[in-house]
Chains A and B, each alone.
Chain A
Amino acid sequence: MEKLIIFLPLLAAIISGFFGKIVGNKPSQLITSLFVSISALLSIYVFYNVTIFDYSNNIVIAKWITSGDLDVNWSIKIDQLSAIMLVVVTLVSAIVHVYSIGYMSHDPHQPRFMSYLSLFTFAMLVLVTSDNFLQLFFGWEGVGLCSYFLIGFWFKKSTANAAAIKAFLVNRVGDFGFALGIFLVFYIFGTVNYEDVFNQVTIYKDDNLKFLGLEFNVINLICFLLFIGAMGKSAQIFLHTWLPDAMEGPTPVSALIHAATMVTAGVFLVVRCSPIYEFSPLILNFITVIGMFTALFAASVALVQNDIKKIIAYSTCSQLGYMFFATGVGAYNVAMFHLFTHAFFKALLFLGAGSVIHSFNDEQDINKMGGVFKHLPYTYTLMIIGTLALTGFPFLSGFYSKDLIIEFAYLKGNTVGFYACSIGIFTAVLTSIYSWRLIFKTFHGEYNNQTQSISSMHESPAVMLAPLIILAFGSILAGFVFKDLFMGYGSFSNFWEGSIFFLEPLTKEHPPAYIIYLTPILVTISIPFSYYIFLKNKSFIEGIVNSNKPIYLFLKNKWYFDELYEVLFVRSSKFLGKYFWKKIDGLVIDRFGPDGLSSLFKYFSIKAIKFQSGFIYQYAFVMLIGFSLILTIIIVK
């Protein structure tokens, strides 16, 4: 059955990818959606078995690489962690498949699109069910590849192609660290299978390693390198630049890959490796710091963006930051909880945004929208639900997971924890403000679109709305229903035992009441506040922008990361390429190598030719000189 879950999407991808022309548009959409839906149902069944009956399994499918002492298998590992990921991935994927039938209905390449989606699902499943680092890496690069395909899906658009390459390359930078991490794991532990590695961690935890003349603790180094990979995939600060650009892809892709599943792979990796990370407090603190900076940075940028998808993209980036700082303070289960709830409400927001974009005929600028909530009642309501869930409005799913992250950061009790806690609260307020800004600018106020009349606004078809309703239920209920499971309350107290390792058992304490109530109150106050500044009194915000132009521009230009990287990496690489090619290859190696040699021979042969002039007196003269030289030498001796 586990094999069916994983290989059905692959089969669907092959059918619609290679035989799409033969089977036609509609059938390939139906086949892919059906196959992935079956896979989703089976995943839910497996999840049920895992939660209720403590089911776990490790199926070895085939040998992959055997070389020397390296031994790697293709395998399916089912435990609590992978069961949750299975549900998240297949469920969101099935929903997105169905949604795409409506969203892509005017596109000429539908089978190709569906094929990529299914292929992505396959790669993601391979990633989460791996029992070793190498298969994880396979899935890791596989989802990156599908993301590359899907971002560049509209291959005629130059910006889409650029964004696709950027996504792949930035991820490659992360993968560079990840690969080194795997090498180091193999070097230290002699294996890349999770179980064998995790069992040996305590043996090697005090070992040091010399690198570039510096001593490093091996566990710290491994954790750091693996985290570089996680930063790339999960778009953490410094390696985040690809995610906003990735919005060039079709919106269903953004929902599936760049919100709910692929970008959470980094969080999954850290949680999966909790048995190693628990022995590296240094790197855990580092993760917390990176996580909270990302949360803050992305939220600050999201405040001033005008592209509806980019706002949500930065929001994703920011929420991923939350997940990381949850892992950083050792609350892996809370990170998974937020990952789980986030998948629902963020997919809902993206697909809702897709519905809006669809209605506005591919307009993405929120300044060119407004006042349409009566024309798009369903989309509007669903977006409101998504926003409430995201901002952590009481009793919706985001409320449970996000507040728990902040609480655990507080309970960590050290300096980093306090900073994380306060930044977490502050970012939650920012999140609320930018989210409501999006809603108010899109649906309220005046209608600002010049290209089409407001009366032509139409609600999206049912095939697009039905998936949204499922996600809306998830956004409302996921937090409340699964809180006990993820937090190990009540009958689930041993739920995580098999898959997450806690060096010290999670604290059961509660932080002071003001911490618990502060966030929901602030978040709720932000709603009327945003309403006031973005709708009622726009001059207020304009005043702030005008008096703080530099800060505004700094945020507007995303802290100038793209410009910095352009100079630092892109231009310098091009310069080096040109320099090596023209100057060193051309002017040094060839000039003194083969060309130099041949011209040298030519030079001497021309001299030699001149020597043979054919005049006897010249020859006689040379002979005379020769004779006198020899005689001189003999005499001198």
Chain B
Amino acid sequence: MNFPLLSSLIILPTIGAIFILFGRSSTNYNSAKYISLFITFTNFVLSLYLWYTFDKTNSDFQFVEERIWLEGFINYKVGIDGISILFIILTTFITFLCVISVNSTVQNRLKDFLLAILFMETMMIGVFCSLDLVIFYLFFEAGLIPMFLIIGIWGGQRRVYSAFKFFLYTLLGSVLMLVAIISIYWMTGTTDVIELYQIGIDPRYQNLLWLAFFSSFAVKTPMWPVHTWLPDAHVEAPTVGSVLLAAILLKMAGYGFIRFSVGLFPIASEYFVPLVFGLSLIAILYTSFVALMQEDMKKLIAYSSVAHMGFVTMGIFTMTSQGIEGSIFQMISHGIISAALFLCVGVVYERMHTREINKYGGIISVMPRYAVVFMVFTLGALGLPGTTGFIGEFLILLGTFKVNFLVATIASIGVILGAAYMLWLYRRVVFGEIKNPEVNKLTDLNRSEMLILSTLAFVSILFGFYPDPLISTTSASVEGLIELFTTNIKIYTASNL
């Protein structure tokens, strides 16, 4: 590989951001907007090209680039495998759509807003291709800063409280991860992920290290009981902020579980399976019940995100190919569907300036096109076959069933509840007679909203009927990971006999 494709993906948004920052026109927002559109689109195309040239049959890391940063200590090392590539495409895709939708959702300081988005894209792509723990940590944490700013500056009335809560939770988790990374370096002398996969980490310390990583990922997923920052953050964040948060930021944790928790600490991962299953089950059922009673549209979707991510964590720790592939699929699917749902809420919020469900009702009469796309995503969220939501949930439950009947059975109840809260939301917002005279003034989707939402709907249905491109991309790497996991377990049990 001669051309540093991954580094270009990472650095391009930052270059764009610099251009915008030093651009002469401080009043004319159009140039900033066009630069970001151009940059994010180029990045999206580049990532598709990356997917096209990517070798699906190979489970090794590809496009690896390595540069020495601190001699003998930290190297800048990036590379991708079948697990990470889909997340990169998701990131570039969603960011591009966000930039398109941005002019209508943010009124003031558009330039700074675009800066934050571009900077965040750099960080998120960085997270998904880092092959060095320190580099990963840097990207992982730096990604919080733009999000923190987006909530804190462009958020709603209680934005400061939400931003603080968001930061407090995520930072506390991450500090432990940093400690763990340092101790890994002292134990093995390297922070290179590929090398660590080969060396393996001393089983005696795995449990502690696993917990340290877990505390960071669990907060970001978020898992019960550290989920309470998410509803608040979503409610206060502007639409684009919610979209990025739900679609991509949450996925960093799921990705982290697969890449680091399972990959680096297989024995501890095996040990903590009951913990993860327990917390996931609580997340699925508990937040589904909570979602049922929400009066705020965004909060409802935020709680449903927690439930969906509960499926993801459960699937990963089944250590079966269906479970892990299902989890990856579910994350991509949730990235698309939750992004679309938050955009849908944004559409009516912009027109009515309220997110309270009771203020709506009957909008199908005035916004028929909106009713159709919203229905598609509602169905996706409740996991109807033919949408991506079904494939993810189905594979996860199938994988879980192989490992533990009881867990799979209980988790399946979440599927019933999911249908309940989503359909009830839809009914209260879209169906019925118009009670609030404000609703009569609503206008249907404009062209750019229609473009964005129908693209997302198309993707969600396309991969619901034909998921093979996504699943086959991941399968070789997932098999590789499972093999790594099982050999580690075998060696460990053999040595303990």
Contact = CB atoms under 8 A, between A and B. Distances in A.
B292 A574 contact: yes
Interface string B372-400: 00000001000011100011001101100
B431 A155 contact: yes
A577 B384 contact: no
Given A172-B419, A179-B415, A585 B406 contact: no
Interface in A164-217: 164-165, 168-169, 172-173, 175-176, 179-180, 183-184, 186-187, 209, 211-212
A168 B290 contact: no
Contacts of B321: 67-69
Interface stretch (B44-52, B80-88, B163-171, B341-349): B163-171
Interface string B282-301: 00001001111110000000
Interface string A125-160: 000000000100110011001001000100110100
Contact of A165 (B423, B433, B466): B423
Interface stretch (A329-337, A343-351, A591-599, A618-626): A591-599
A576 B290 CA distance: 8
B475 A62 contact: no
B370 to A, nearest CB: 14
Nearest to B395: A67
A580 B424 contact: no
A584 to B, nearest CB: 8
A238 interface: no
A168 B398 contact: no
Given A64-B465, A176-B416, A597-B168, A155 B432 contact: yes
A636 B103 CA distance: 73
A584 B290 CA distance: 10
Contacts of A175: 415
B386 A138 contact: yes
Contacts of A179: 394, 397, 412, 415
A211 B407 CA distance: 11
A70 interface: yes
A125 to B, nearest CB: 14
Contacts of B290: 577, 580-581, 585
**Chain A binding site: helix, strand, loop or mixed by DSSP?**
helix
A445 B99 CA distance: 71
Given A158-B432, A183-B401, A597-B168, A70 B419 contact: no
B42 interface: no
A67 B318 CA distance: 14
Contacts of A180: 401, 408-409, 412
Contacts of B402: 187
Given A142-B386, A172-B415, A173-B416, A70 B289 contact: no
- Report the interface size class on chain A: 35 or more
Contact of B385 (A70, A137, A580, A590): A137
A106 interface: no
Contacts of B409: 180
A141 B384 contact: yes
A183 B427 CA distance: 31
Contacts of B379: 145
Interface string A51-70: 00000000000111111111
Nearest to A21: B368
Contact of A70 (B225, B398, B415, B420): B398
Contacts of A70: 322, 395, 398
A590 B231 CA distance: 12
A589 interface: yes
Nearest to A148: B423
A156 B405 contact: no
B71 interface: no
B320 interface: yes
A141 B472 CA distance: 26
A585 to B, nearest CB: 6
A456 B230 CA distance: 62
A573 interface: yes
- With most chain B CB atoms within 10 A of its CB, the pick from A66, A164, A574, A577 is A577
B156 interface: no
B192 interface: no
Contact of A67 (B286, B326, B433): B326
A174 to B, nearest CB: 10
B278 interface: no
B216 to A, nearest CB: 16
A19 B431 CA distance: 22
A211 B405 contact: yes
Contact of B415 (A142, A176, A597, A598): A176
B432 A161 contact: yes
Nearest to A597: B168
Nearest to A18: B372
A64 B365 CA distance: 37
Contact of B228 (A69, A574, A577, A594): A594
Given A580-B289, A589-B228, A598 B423 contact: no
Nearest to A585: B228
B413 interface: yes
A510 interface: no
Contacts of B150: none
- With most chain A CB atoms within 10 A of its CB, the pick from B293, B397, B430 is B293
B295 to A, nearest CB: 10
A549 interface: no
Interface in A558-599: 573-574, 576-578, 580-581, 584-585, 589-590, 593-594, 597-598
Contacts of A158: 432-433
Given A594-B169, A598-B168, A573 B292 contact: yes
A590 B228 contact: yes
Contacts of B401: 180, 183-184, 186-187
B131 interface: no
B433 A156 contact: yes
Contacts of B475: 66-68
A573 B285 CA distance: 11
A175 B165 CA distance: 39
B431 A152 contact: yes
A186 B395 CA distance: 11
Nearest to B231: A585
Given A152-B431, A183-B401, A63 B468 contact: yes
A164 B406 CA distance: 31
A67 B290 CA distance: 33
A516 to B, nearest CB: 45
Contacts of A187: 401-402
27 contacts: A65-B395, A66-B468, A67-B321, A67-B471, A68-B320, A70-B322, A70-B398, A137-B385, A155-B430, A155-B431, A156-B365, A161-B427, A168-B419, A172-B419, A176-B412, A179-B394, A180-B408, A183-B397, A573-B420, A574-B292, A581-B289, A581-B290, A585-B228, A589-B228, A594-B164, A594-B228, A597-B168
Q: Which 3 pairs of residues, A with B, have the shortest CB-CB distance?
A: A68-B321, A577-B293, A183-B401
Given A156-B362, A179-B412, 16 more contacts: A65-B471, A68-B322, A145-B379, A155-B430, A156-B365, A161-B432, A168-B419, A169-B419, A180-B401, A186-B398, A212-B406, A577-B289, A581-B293, A581-B294, A585-B228, A590-B228
